[in-house]
Each structure stands twice: as C-alpha cells, then as structure tokens.
Chain A
Amino acid sequence: MKNFKFKRSLTLIAVSSLLSITVVSIPTAAQAAPACTTANYVTTCLGATTDSAPYMLITPANFNGTVYLYSHGYRPNIPVPAGIPGYGGYTVTNTPEPAPGGNPQVIGALLAKGYAVMGSGFARQGWNVNSAANTNVELIGIYKKQYPKTTKVIAWGNSLGGFQSQYLAEKYPELISSAGVLCTVSNAPVVSDKAADALWLIKTFFDPTIKAGNYSAGTAGYAEAMGDLVKVFTVIGHFQAAIAADPIAPAWPATSKVPDALKAIPSRSALILSALLVGVPLQSAHFDGTSAPAGLPAANALSFQLAINPALAALENIANAAALATFQIYDLELQTGGTWYDNTKTDWAARVADERFIWASALSGESATNALLGYLAAVPKAEGNPVARAKVAGLGTHTGITKVPTVLYTGVADPLGTASEQQSIIDKYDAYLAQQWPANKNAAVRKRPVNNQLALWGIPAAKYTKFTAAGSPDTTVAAAPGTNHCNFTVAQYVAVAELLAYAANNGKNMSGGPLLTKLRKAGNMTYDRDYAAPRNKN
C-alpha cells in the first residue's frame, strides 16, 4: 500500500516537473556533462551532444535500469511565415523531446514504473536520418555514463523518429534491446517521392504556377517554396468552398489550366485520382469514405457515400501530403544540391489498376478516369538530376533486418500513407525470415528463425463522419482513431511502451492472450498476422 502511494505521487511529481522543464534554459553547445537538477525524486538532466543537439534525460529515483530513447518526428528545417494555414508562425526548433510530444502523462506513466526517458531535439531538422543516428548513438553513451546502472535501452519514435528507431534496430542492435516504430516512414526515396508526387499532381491538375521543386538558390528559393505552400493551401481552400457549394460538380480552381474537356469531369474526381495515385487513403480524420447525412433522398445519399465523402477525405488527407512535400523537396534539394524529383518513368495508370474499379463512382466512371490519366500521360514530366537523385537514396534506407524485437504500430488511414510504409518494413522482414531458414539449415542450425516483429494496426471504425443538424460535415470533432498522422492516445503509447519493455526483458515479443488483453485494454490496436496494408505505389 505504501508502495502504491509512492508510485502514484511520483507520477504526479513527474508531470509537474516536466511542465517546469519548459522554462529551463537548454544548453545549445556540447558539454562534457549534463546539468542535472533533482526535485521530488526525479532527476532531469539537460545537455548537448557533440553535434550540438540539445537533449533531456529524466530519471526517477527508483530507476530500474531501463531507459526509453525517444526520437521525434519530422520538423521542417525552415521557418514558416505567419498567416500560412496549418504551419504559419513555425520557427525551427531543436527542443528535446524525451517522449511523444513531450506528453507528461506518458512520461509520468513510465517514470512511475521506474523507467527513465530521454530524447534529443537533434542537431538538424528536416530529413535527418544520418545525423540523428549519430546523435542517438552518442546520447545512449551519455546516458550510460551518467547512469552506470543502465542495463537496457529501448528505442522508440514517431514518424521520421519511427524511421530512426528502426534504423537503430538494424544498424546498432548491440546498443538497444527493443525498438518501437510508430507511424513510421520508410526509405528516403519512397517517402520523398510520395510527397513530391502529391505536389506534382496538385500542380498539374489545379495550379501549374506551383513550382514543386527546382527551387532557386538562397532566399529566392525559400520564397518560392513558401509561395508553393500558399498555393497548395489556396487550392485546398478552393475545394472546401467548391464542394460545399456544389458537391456533385464542384468547380475547378480558376488557376487550373487543364483543357475544357477535362473540366467537364467533376474536379473532385481529379482530387480522388491524385490521392489514389499517391497512395493517400480515402478515409481521413473526419471523413470515413462512406457516410451520408441523414435525410437525403436515397439516390443523393448513395452518391454522397460513393463519391462525395471520399472526395472530402482525399481533400483532408492530401493537404498534409502536399504540405510535407514542399518542405521535403526544398530540404532535399539543399541536401543533394539539385533537383532530385523525377517522374519521367512513372506509369500513373498502373498505379490505379484496381482502385479505378473500386472507386469508379468517385472517379466519375471509366471514361473520366481514362481522360484524367491520359492528361497525366501527355503533359511534360518532372525530370530530375540523376546525381541528386542518387544522393537521396543515400539519405537513409531500411533493410528490414532487425536483430532485436520490434513493435510496429500505425493507423491504416494515416494521411501520409504510413500504413504502406509500415507494410514495406514488414515485407522486408518477412523476406529476410524466408531466407533465414534455408540459411540456417545450410549451416546445420536446426532452428527456425523467430519472428520478432510485432506489427499492430489502428483500424478506423466503419462509420465515424459526424454531420451537423443542418447536414454539413462536422470537422470540429476529434480525429477518429486510426486516422491522422500519429494519432495515438496515451493508453496506446503506454501499451506500446509496455510491450517494448516486455520484449527488452524477454528477448522476444509478447504473444497470445496477454498480448491480446493488453491491446484490447488500450483500444484500437489490432494484431492480425494476415492483415496487409496496401503497398507503396512507388
């Protein structure tokens, strides 16, 4: 009973100490030892690695020897002027993040069990796989030096941080005991092309003045990138208004230069096609791709279900992908020294071989689909510099081969298509296992390789779109589980953390009844070995 009280009070202390951390100044230069303060049984250390990445270590008095190393997700490496929707006013920051979003409840839950947490803000933002890996490796050493009692390090991270965690599991298995790969992106060329495809399609269909790469040097290039961001959101804003005004045949943006014949096709179908070509899901935070408002005549309701709701989902999702694309294209052009995006060999029609049938209504039928694809085939392509493109591949790729247990988790309707990214890691690991058994036999090892990859999925409910009394979609409600990027609850984060602790302690992932019970309690975490997300399109 005493113990329980102690733990509970520790949780509360951890929360309050975290809140106070935000006002503590964070060293920006490398230093020999971190500066630590202890309050209420929790020691918080701040410092910077040799590459000047600020970090934070939070360790409870009853430290059990296991520390969670968190890698944060993508942060743009350029500031965004105020006034731009969604990102306006953003300034580049490398504030350390020792847990997802610095969430005090997640941190509190872990500290209460005697675990420590740590994380850095990395030395550079944007696409930073190689730099971040160096920071993480150094940070593990710093922590162990500070706390020699450390026995296990668990790596986990969101989005690009998921990539980092998988990367650590592949490259540095001797440093970590398990890895949590959440809403991850996969290889640099895949995720970058995906985002750039989205931007190129918006440019091609809706506003050809969007530059979508080949940005100028210096401040002029920065201005061009920000200009693209504004134009993307202008297109998105147009669609919001146009679909509200006429959901069946929303007007094309005035900036669109597609032929008039193409404009006879509802513009929403071009939007849907763009989403399908990129691999962006047609379920989004507020649109389930299937619901219609109550009270519509039956024929209109069917049309809303099959065509309008998916278009709204595409709109909500593709805004995320296109915005990311602007940052990513600009960043990678700086890193590779050239125009890396190239779609000269892209077979757009092949990418929707099945989906064009499934979404025939939303695409306004076969003839419309053929016309839209025909236009994409006819317009000039984006041609990249081969040297720059080759450099993108060197900015980080996964092999899928991990020697420590890993836990993967993502929402299947993540707007950045991370389900297919997670699937690509699963596929690579499966291929590795498939090769491993014959290799074992050849080496006279009579042991089947153990599958130490636990893949979890957040699957949205069948229906979740809410409508106001007037019949308009209500986008003020919280994003549905399984949608949005890295849209996880505290309970889900804690469940993943506990699964990782189990894996670290046992050298294998949890399975059977205990696993299913844990997942059920956390909610919307599905374990299904036979589930396969759609594959990446590129």
Chain B
Amino acid sequence: MIRETRRRGAWLAATVLAAGSLIATALPAYAETGVSSSEIKLGITLPLTGAASPGYNKIGNAMNAYFKYVNENGGVYGRKITLIQKNDEYSPQLSIAKTNELILKDKVFALVGPLGTANFTAVHKSVGLAKRGVPSLFLNTGFSGFAKKANYPASFMILPSYAMEAKIIAQFLKENHAGKKLGIVYQNDEFGIDGMGAFKAAGTKFDVTVPYTSGSQSAATAQTWVSQLAAGGAQVVVFFGVTSATAPLLAVAAGAKYAPQWILGSVGSDPLTLRALGVPVAVLNGAQTPAGNPSPNDTSDEYVKQFQEINTKYNTGTAFDDYVLQGMNIGLMTVQALRAAGPNPTRKGLTSAIETKGSTFASVAYSPLGYSKTSNVGHTGYYMAVMDANGDRKPFGGTVKLYTTDSGSGPVVLSTFKRPAMPAKGLPSNS
C-alpha cells in the first residue's frame, strides 16, 4: 500500500513537472513590471477635461487607436499593448497622484507621452522616476531641460525643443520680416523662458513683450495682451504658448480689428482646435507657423494616409488633426521601441534600445531624431508653414525647407535629411 502510494506520488510529481516545463516553454519568460506573457501595460497622464484639454485630450485616444491596430495585427512579439490614460486636468499636483497610480497600482511598464512641462517636472521630482527606473517615452513637451541626460536618464523627448523652435523662428524673422516692429506673447514659465532665451541668443529684439501666466488665459486677459501689442505698434507677433491661449488672443484681436502678421508657435497652432475654440478661419488665413510634421490633411504623405485610415477605423468620429497625428506617431515610435527592446523587454532594455536604435526609428516628422547613449533629444528641426483660407497648413514658399539646430549655440542649418519610410502597413518590423 505504501509502495503504491509512493508510485502514484512519483507519477503525479512527474506530470506536474512536465506540465510546468510545458508552460515554461509555451510562454515567453517575463520578469518585468507591466509585462506579462500576453500584455504590455503603458500609461499616460494628460488633461482630458478642463480649459487646457482641447486638442490634448485627443492624444491618448489616438495612441490607443494605433495600439489597437497593432494588437489586431499580432501585437509586439505576441503581446498586446494596453494604454491606461489618466486625467491630470493639467495640474502638476494631480499629475503626481495619477502617475503614482499608474506606477504603483496599475503597474505600468513605462510612461508614454506624458504631457506638460510643469507636470513632468513635478512627476519626475516627486514620483522618483529615475530611482524607480521607469522609462518615460516621447514626452509631450519641448522643454530643453528634459534633454539633460544626467538629470533625466530614462526620459526621451520627441518634439524639437522650444529653444530649437525659437532659433528657427528667429532665423525666419531675419529672412522675412526684417525691419518690422516685433511683438511676442509668451507663457511666463520654463516653456516661454526656454524660447525667450533662444530668441535673445539669436539677437531677436522684440519691441513689445507680453508674458502671461499659465492658467490665466481667458478673453479678459487676452484683451490686455492685445491692447499692449496694438499700443506698441507690433506688426509681427510671435505667439509662444498653448492653444487655449492662442484662441482668445486671435479672437480678441480679430474683434479689435488688430491684424498683425501672426507667427504661431507649434504648440498652440492646430487650426482645427483653434476653429473649434471659436477662432474664425479667416483670422487664421496667412498665419505663419513652424511645423515639424506634414499637414494632417496631406493625404499624399504616406504616414498621414496610413494614420488617417487607422483613425477612421479605430478612433471613429474623431476629426484627424495635429494632435491625432502626434498621438498616432507616438504610438508608432513606441511600438518600434518595444520591438527594439526584444521579445523579453525590461525597463533597462527599453531605455538602452532607444539609446542605440532610436535615431533610426520611422517617424512622421521630417527632421532627424537625436537619440544616442549620451542624448535623449527627439526631433531636431522645423520647416515654416503658412495657413490658407481653408485653415490648412502649407509649406511657406511652396516646398518644405527643413531647418535643423540644437538647443544651444549651434547654427540653424538647412537640412537635406530624408526621413525613413513608413513601415509597410504602418506595422514596424524592426528588432
């Protein structure tokens, strides 16, 4: 009887062992937070509601739409991507709380596209991203400070920095608006300061300077901006702020019949969002703007065409604009980064993969990517564009003239860079 039991026990143990080894071979090994045999969890914080949300609130859904498309086409090495969006209402305090939720409760593998300069500064400092080793991919902010690798070792920018943008606008002003009275309205924080420092270094002198405090933008405050600009006789006005501030500025200026040549910074110039916020299309007509991507209406562009198709199917009912394009592109970049990290991704491996291979990733933007072992700089340039009577954006002078530069004292140069082709069917196959 004893012998019988022992035999049965041995048989049972062998079966369990065999089953265990089967499981071990059938499923990819994983030992990283946010990665299971079937899923990779990612997280984003952004304003989904509130005054700062118009436009920004589309980015997460656009990323998600792209991930759904990838998931339906096999995922990343068989794993499906899940994106968890958290609404921070553009409040840094809330960004901290929501990011803590993403990391500690939802246990995401990485952050992708966290939005807002003050927000990410707060998160990085308070959540301890560096200590935790949580990668932050493709930040939705252009603050050049985030490119400091020593301070932000596992954070990667995607947008050209605000300093780069200002340098390119400064060059454009010299070439096209010399001798005119210049005005600028800028967000009076690190966003605007980043740009103002670069304008100063480039020798641009503004005759009228109007700083505004983030969060204070409204029709009433815009009234004071317009009064100052008009009183100062500004003929060309650069706007360096967010869309929720561009809209009242343009609307109030139009009401006051003040019509300078507008140069709208890339952050606050999406025509569709501005029109949704009540800016008449006629006001936008002729406005000049630096742009990194093709127009979202340019269906001759292979990226735009593919993303529009994905948007139609997976983001039904959402108008395709710059924000949707940006969200989809972050999705595309993320999938390439995950693939580059290999079949068993780790947080360290993901960071290393972007450092070593990120500069070759396909991206909708025309300019080169600056990733390397010593740099977490994203795209590095802009072309100047002008809005037409339909609110569409066309290259200034008819063709894309791409300028690249850095956030420091490097020159602004005309680039001949050719961006990589869109992966077949929009599905990366890199490794």
Q: Tell me the A residues contacting B by CB distance below 8 Å.
A: 282-283, 288-290, 298-303, 305-307, 310, 354, 357-361, 364-368, 459, 461-463, 528, 530-532, 534
Partner of B132, one of A303, A366, A462, A530: A530
Residues of A close to B212: CB separation below 8 A: 365
* Interchain CB contact under 8 A, A299 and B192: no
Alpha-carbon separation in the docked complex, A301 to B217 (Å)? 11
Instruction: Contacts A358-B118, A530-B132, A532-B131 given; indicate if A365 touches B213 (C-beta within 8 A).
Output: yes
**Given A290-B94, A361-B216; 7 other pairs, CB 8 A cutoff:** A358-B118, A358-B122, A360-B190, A360-B213, A361-B213, A361-B215, A367-B188
Closest approach, in angstroms, between the C-beta of A107 and any C-beta of chain B?
A: 34
Of B85-93, B231-239, B325-333, B398-406, the one contacting chain A is B85-93
Residues of A close to B128: CB separation below 8 A: 530-532
Closest approach, in angstroms, between the C-beta of A303 and any C-beta of chain B?
A: 5
Instruction: Contacts A290-B94, A302-B51, A305-B91 given; indicate if A534 touches B126 (C-beta within 8 A).
Output: yes
Residues of A close to B118: CB separation below 8 A: 357-361
Residues of B close to A357: CB separation below 8 A: 117-118, 121, 189-190
Task: Say yes or no: is B125 at the interface (Cβ < 8 Å to chain A).
Answer: yes
Task: Say yes or no: is B50 at the interface (Cβ < 8 Å to chain A).
Answer: yes
* Interchain CB contact under 8 A, A366 and B188: yes
* Interchain CB contact under 8 A, A367 and B211: yes
Q: Tell me the B residues contacting A by CB distance below 8 Å.
A: 50-52, 89-94, 97-98, 100-101, 104, 117-118, 121-122, 125-126, 128, 131-132, 188-190, 192-193, 211-218, 244
User: Which of A354, A360, A532 has its CB near the most chain B CB atoms (within 10 A)?
Assistant: A360
Q: Can you sample 25 A-B contacts with CB below 8 Å?
A: A289-B91, A299-B51, A302-B90, A303-B215, A305-B215, A306-B215, A357-B117, A357-B190, A358-B92, A358-B121, A360-B118, A360-B189, A361-B118, A361-B216, A366-B189, A366-B190, A366-B193, A367-B211, A368-B188, A461-B97, A462-B101, A530-B128, A531-B128, A534-B125, A534-B126
Residues of A close to B50: CB separation below 8 A: 298, 301-302, 305
Partner of A365, one of B89, B98, B188: B188
Alpha-carbon separation in the docked complex, A290 to B214 (Å)? 15
* Interchain CB contact under 8 A, B104 and A528: yes
Partner of B97, one of A301, A462, A530, A532: A462
- List the A residue with the shortest CB-CB distance to B129: A530
Alpha-carbon separation in the docked complex, A341 to B329 (Å)? 56
Closest approach, in angstroms, between the C-beta of B375 and any C-beta of chain A?
A: 22
Alpha-carbon separation in the docked complex, A300 to B52 (Å)? 11
Residues of B close to A298: CB separation below 8 A: 50-51
- List the A residue with the shortest CB-CB distance to B90: A302
Residues of A close to B104: CB separation below 8 A: 528
Alpha-carbon separation in the docked complex, A94 to B273 (Å)? 66
Alpha-carbon separation in the docked complex, A299 to B90 (Å)? 12
Residues of A close to B117: CB separation below 8 A: 357
- List the B residue with the shortest CB-CB distance to A306: B215
Residues of B close to A463: CB separation below 8 A: 94
Question: Main SS of chain B's interface residues?
Answer: helix
Residues of B close to A307: CB separation below 8 A: 213, 215-216
Residues of A close to B125: CB separation below 8 A: 354, 358, 534
Residues of A close to B213: CB separation below 8 A: 307, 360-361, 364-365, 368
* Interchain CB contact under 8 A, A360 and B91: no
Instruction: Contacts A306-B215, A354-B121, A364-B213 given; indicate if A301 touches B51 (C-beta within 8 A).
Output: yes
- List the B residue with the shortest CB-CB distance to A533: B126
Partner of A282, one of B93, B94, B121, B211: B93
Closest approach, in angstroms, between the C-beta of B131 and any C-beta of chain A?
A: 5
Alpha-carbon separation in the docked complex, A290 to B50 (Å)? 12
Alpha-carbon separation in the docked complex, A361 to B215 (Å)? 6
Alpha-carbon separation in the docked complex, A306 to B89 (Å)? 10
* Interchain CB contact under 8 A, A302 and B215: yes
* Interchain CB contact under 8 A, B93 and A290: yes
Closest approach, in angstroms, between the C-beta of B95 and any C-beta of chain A?
A: 9
Residues of A close to B214: CB separation below 8 A: 306, 360-361, 365
Alpha-carbon separation in the docked complex, A200 to B211 (Å)? 30
Closest approach, in angstroms, between the C-beta of A518 and any C-beta of chain B?
A: 18
Partner of A462, one of B98, B126, B215: B98
Alpha-carbon separation in the docked complex, A358 to B122 (Å)? 6
Partner of A305, one of B89, B121, B192: B89
* Interchain CB contact under 8 A, B100 and A459: yes
Alpha-carbon separation in the docked complex, A533 to B52 (Å)? 29
* Interchain CB contact under 8 A, B189 and A310: no
User: Which of A282, A289, A310, A361 has its CB near the most chain B CB atoms (within 10 A)?
Assistant: A361
* Interchain CB contact under 8 A, B132 and A290: no
Residues of A close to B94: CB separation below 8 A: 290, 305, 462-463
Alpha-carbon separation in the docked complex, A532 to B213 (Å)? 30
Residues of B close to A301: CB separation below 8 A: 50-51
Closest approach, in angstroms, between the C-beta of B184 and any C-beta of chain A?
A: 14
Closest approach, in angstroms, between the C-beta of A288 and any C-beta of chain B?
A: 7
Alpha-carbon separation in the docked complex, A461 to B218 (Å)? 30
Alpha-carbon separation in the docked complex, A249 to B117 (Å)? 25
Alpha-carbon separation in the docked complex, A240 to B361 (Å)? 55
User: Which of B93, B131, B217 has its CB near the most chain A CB atoms (within 10 A)?
Assistant: B93
Closest approach, in angstroms, between the C-beta of B275 and any C-beta of chain A?
A: 18
* Interchain CB contact under 8 A, B51 and A289: no
* Interchain CB contact under 8 A, B211 and A365: yes
* Interchain CB contact under 8 A, A366 and B89: no
- List the B residue with the shortest CB-CB distance to A302: B51
Residues of A close to B190: CB separation below 8 A: 357, 360, 366
Residues of B close to A459: CB separation below 8 A: 100
Closest approach, in angstroms, between the C-beta of B422 and any C-beta of chain A?
A: 36
Residues of B close to A306: CB separation below 8 A: 90-91, 214-215
Closest approach, in angstroms, between the C-beta of A482 and any C-beta of chain B?
A: 11
Alpha-carbon separation in the docked complex, A307 to B217 (Å)? 13
User: Which of A289, A299, A300, A367 has its CB near the most chain B CB atoms (within 10 A)?
Assistant: A299
User: Which of A310, A358, A530 has its CB near the most chain B CB atoms (within 10 A)?
Assistant: A358
